[in-house]
A and B are shown apart, each in its own frame.
Chain A
Amino acid sequence: MEIIVCIKQVPGTTNVKIDTQRGTLIRDGVESIMNPFDEYALEEGVRIKEKYGGRVIAITMGPPQAEAVLREAISRGADEGVLLTDKAFAGADTWATSYTLSEGIKKIGAYDMIICGKQAIDGDTAQVGPSLAEHLNIPHCAYVRKIENIDIENKYIIVHRMMEDGTDVIKMPLPALITVVKEINTPRLPSFKRMVLAKKAQLAVWGQKELRCDVNKIGLKGSPTNVEKVFTPPPRHGGEYIEGTPQEQARKLIEKLKQLQII
C-alpha cells in the first residue's frame, strides 16, 4: 500500500491576536504544532503500512519552517516527507491549497490511499480533503471513524462514516481519499530511534517550478475567496452566579430559564 498523508502545521493555540492596523494575524511568538486531526490520519496510515507493507509519505504545503511537521511525521512512522513551499503558494484558500497539494501528489506518483485529518484547527473548514479528491478525480469519504476492511487484492476498502444520526458504512474502490476523526485510533508517540532518523531524513522540497503547475491556480491569485476583514468577536461576558441551597439554586434557575422562554 502506497499511502499519502496530508499534514498541516498550525499554531499551537487558537488564542490568536489580530494586528488591527493590517488586519492580519500575528503569528510571531506562537509555537507551531502538527494539526491534531492529522496525527490520527498519520497513525492510521502507519498502521495500514505495518499490516500490509508499503510506504507512508507525508506531504504538507506551507512556509519553509513547515518542514518541522514532516520530521515529526517521520518520527511517528512516516517513511518520507514532501514539502511544498514557494512564495507563490502564499495566501491560498482551500481551492488553491487543494490544487497545489494535488499537483504535489501527482508528482509523487502512484498511490493507493490518501488520508487527511477531518479539518485543521486554525481554518476549521474541512474542505481541503474532499476538494483534493475532486482535483485528483478519485472517490472520497469524509469523517471516517473506522476502517472496517481493506481488500488489497480486489482494491477496495470499507469505511464507517460518522453522520449526525449514526454511521454510514461505505465501500470505496482504491485509490481513494478519506478524512478521519479522532475516534479512529490513538496515535503513538515518537520513538527515540525514529526521532534520530527524522532528524537526518532528506525531505523533498518542491516549489511552483518543480511542480510546473498553473500559476493562475495557486496562492492568493488562484483563490476564488478573499478574506475581506478579520475581527475579534465581542467577548462573551459571564452572567450571574445563582446562590443558595441546591434546591434554591434549582428553583431560581428554572424560573430564569422560563422567563427567557428557553424551557
Chain B
Amino acid sequence: MANIYIIEERCVGCGLCVKECPYSAITLVYKKEQQTAATDKKLKTAVIDLNKCTYCGACVDACKKYAAIVLQKEEEARIEAGKDEYRGVWVFAEQRHGKISEVVFELLGVGRKLADKLKVPLSAVLIGYKVEQYAQELIYYSADRVYVYDDEKFAEFRDEVYTKVLADLIKEEKPEIVLMGATAIGRSFASRVATRLHTGLTADCTELDIDPQTRDLLQTRPAFGGNIMATIRTPRHRPQMATVRHKVMKPAPYDTSRKGEIIKKKSDSIIPQWNQFIQFIEDTTQKVNLADADIIVSGGRGLGKPEGFKLIEELATLLGGAVGASRAAVDAGWISYSHQVGQTGRTVAPKLYIACGISGAVQHLVGMSSSKVIVAINKDRDAPIMKVATFALVGDLYEIVPAIINELTKKENVAKEVA
C-alpha cells in the first residue's frame, strides 16, 4: 500500500492541489488553531480524503513549491511497514577510564520520557572492560534493562570494534530509537553504526520529542552555528538514531529502589583488527574537562598576556570549573587549542560561562551562547558579548576578577569559621 500525507506546517492553503486533483479528494479546511479566525486563505490547510485518493501524485507535483504533500510509493511503504518490528528506546552508556560519561545520565533522563510516551522499555548498552558494576547504577538512573559487554577486547574505545558490537545487537534486538552522547566517541562511531544499518542519524540534538501518530522521533538541533534550528525526522528507517548535546537534557533521577534486568552478552563475532590503541595521554592542563564542566571561565585577547590565564585558572579552580579561551588567545599561543571555545573549537553549554576580555565575535558566540547564565567582563560597554550576557560588567578584568576571587574566598573563610 502506498501512503500519502500532508505536512501541515508547510501547507499554506493555496489550493493548487485542490484544482489539480482529478478525483476531487482534496478539500481546504481551517487550520485548527485558527478555526475561529478570519477567512484569509493562508489560515487554511489541505486535507486528503483517503477513500477517494488513488495515490496518483498529481497533487505532489502541484505542491512542488511548498513540498507539503508526501507520497510514499509501495516500496517505501513496505520499508515503513517493517518499522513496526522495532520497539524500545536505547541509550549508549559511554564509559571511559572507569567512569560513565556525564551525558549518559542526561540521555537516560530524556530516554525515560520518550520510552514512557511510546510505552516501551528503556535499555542501556554498556561496552567496556570491568564495567559490570555500573550496570546496576544505570538501572538506578532509570534504565529498565542493561546489556553488558564486558571483555578485555573492549577495554579501549576503537571505532570498528564498538561499531560491530552495537550494530549487531541493534540488528538482533531491533530498538526504534538509539541515543548517544554527542561526544568525541559518540559522534565518531554513531555515524558508522547508522551507515552500516542504513538508517538516519541526527547530530548534536538539543530537543527530542515523539510524534504520537507515527511514533517518529522529532529531533531538533542547531545548525549554522546555532543561527537556525531544524527539526528532523527519520520517517522510513529504523532505528532512529541521534547524538545529544551535553548539558542540555535534565539528568535522570537516582532511585535505588528501582528494579531492572541485567543481560550479560558475549561477542564472538570476528572484528577486523584495524585500529590499535597505543596509549592515552591525559590533558594535565585541564582539571575539569570543558564538555563536562558546569562552570567555565574563559579568557580572550583582553587578557593582553599569557600570564592572564593564571588569573582565569585561579577563578575557575575556585568555582570548580574549567578554563576556556577565545580563538584570539589560542592563536596568540597563550593557551593550548584544547581550551578553545567557538566555531573552530568546542561547543559548550555550561550552567555558568564567564567571559573575561572576550569581545564576542560571532564565531565565539556560536560556541557558548546556549550557556544558561553568561557573565561578561569587558572594558568595552558595547562589545557584542555584552549584548548576550545575562550579567555584563564593564571595567578592567584585572580589577574585577581579583575582586570576585576575593569575595568568594572571603565567604569561604567565613563559612569555615562558622563551621
- For the complex, count residues of B whose C-beta is within 8 A of A: 104
Question: Which of B107-115, B139-147, B305-313, B337-345 forms part of the interface with chain A?
Answer: B337-345
> A165-B289, A228-B232, A246-B395 are known contacts. Are A121 and B373 too (CB-CB below 8 A)?
no
Question: Which of A50-58, A62-70, A79-87, A248-256 forms part of the interface with chain B?
Answer: A248-256
Rounded to whole Å, the gap between the CB of A72 and the closest CB of chain B is: 18
- For the complex, count residues of A whose C-beta is within 8 A of B: 85
A170-B391 in contact (CB<8A) = no
Interface set, chain A 230-263, CB cutoff 8 A to B: 230-233, 236, 238-243, 246-247, 249-251, 253-254, 256-257, 260, 262-263
Cβ contacts under 8 Å, A167 to chain B: 280-281, 283
Does B399 have its Cβ within 8 Å of any Cβ on chain A?
Answer: yes
A15-B200 in contact (CB<8A) = no
Partner of B187, one of A11, A126, A170: A126
Interface set, chain B 317-371, CB cutoff 8 A to A: 319, 336-338, 340, 343-345, 351-352, 362, 366, 369
Which B residue sits closest to A102, measured CB to CB?
Answer: B195
Rounded to whole Å, the gap between the CB of B161 and the closest CB of chain A is: 11
Q: Interface SS of chain A: helix, strand, loop or mixed?
A: mixed
Cβ contacts under 8 Å, A25 to chain B: 228
A246-B225 in contact (CB<8A) = no
Give Cα distance in the complex from A62 to B159, angstroms: 28
Does A76 have its Cβ within 8 Å of any Cβ on chain B?
Answer: no
> A173-B274, A233-B222 are known contacts. Are A225 and B392 too (CB-CB below 8 A)?
no
Question: Which of B49-57, B122-130, B234-242 forms part of the interface with chain A?
Answer: B234-242
Give Cα distance in the complex from A133 to B286, angstroms: 32
Does A162 have its Cβ within 8 Å of any Cβ on chain B?
Answer: yes
Q: Interface SS of chain B: helix, strand, loop or mixed?
A: mixed
> A16-B227, A130-B192 are known contacts. Are A224 and B198 too (CB-CB below 8 A)?
yes
Does B408 have its Cβ within 8 Å of any Cβ on chain A?
Answer: yes
Does A190 have its Cβ within 8 Å of any Cβ on chain B?
Answer: no
A225-B188 in contact (CB<8A) = no
A36-B281 in contact (CB<8A) = no
B178-219: contact bitstring with A at CB < 8 Å (1 yes, 0 no)?
000001110111111011101111111000000000000010
Does A94 have its Cβ within 8 Å of any Cβ on chain B?
Answer: yes
Which B residue sits closest to A23, measured CB to CB?
Answer: B10
A134-B97 in contact (CB<8A) = no
Partner of B228, one of A161, A231, A260: A231
Rounded to whole Å, the gap between the CB of B326 and the closest CB of chain A is: 13
Give Cα distance in the complex from A124 to B372, angstroms: 21
Cβ contacts under 8 Å, B97 to chain A: 165
Rounded to whole Å, the gap between the CB of B257 and the closest CB of chain A is: 27
A228-B225 in contact (CB<8A) = no
Does A169 have its Cβ within 8 Å of any Cβ on chain B?
Answer: yes
Partner of B391, one of A134, A163, A176, A256: A256
Rounded to whole Å, the gap between the CB of A35 and the closest CB of chain B is: 11
Question: Which of B20-28, B169-177, B381-389 forms part of the interface with chain A?
Answer: B381-389
Interface set, chain A 192-247, CB cutoff 8 A to B: 223-233, 236, 238-243, 246-247
Rounded to whole Å, the gap between the CB of B379 and the closest CB of chain A is: 12
Does A37 have its Cβ within 8 Å of any Cβ on chain B?
Answer: yes
> A121-B343, A168-B156, A257-B373 are known contacts. Are A131 and B223 too (CB-CB below 8 A)?
no
Which B residue sits closest to A22, measured CB to CB?
Answer: B66
A249-B275 in contact (CB<8A) = no
Give Cα distance in the complex from A11 to B282, angstroms: 36
Does A32 have its Cβ within 8 Å of any Cβ on chain B?
Answer: no
B388-A236 in contact (CB<8A) = yes
Give Cα distance in the complex from A88 to B232, angstroms: 21
Rounded to whole Å, the gap between the CB of A42 and the closest CB of chain B is: 15
Cβ contacts under 8 Å, B203 to chain A: 94, 123-127
Give Cα distance in the complex from A10 to B281, angstroms: 34
Give Cα distance in the complex from A82 to B331, angstroms: 32
| 20 A-B pairs (CB sep. < 8 Å) | A130-B191, A131-B191, A131-B195, A142-B184, A164-B291, A166-B282, A171-B276, A172-B274, A172-B275, A182-B340, A225-B232, A225-B233, A228-B230, A230-B229, A238-B388, A242-B393, A249-B403, A250-B404, A257-B373, A262-B351
14 extra interface residue pairs, beta carbon distance < 8 Å, beyond A126-B187, A247-B403 = A130-B188, A135-B195, A141-B188, A142-B188, A143-B188, A168-B156, A170-B158, A225-B200, A227-B232, A241-B392, A246-B399, A254-B408, A263-B295, A263-B352
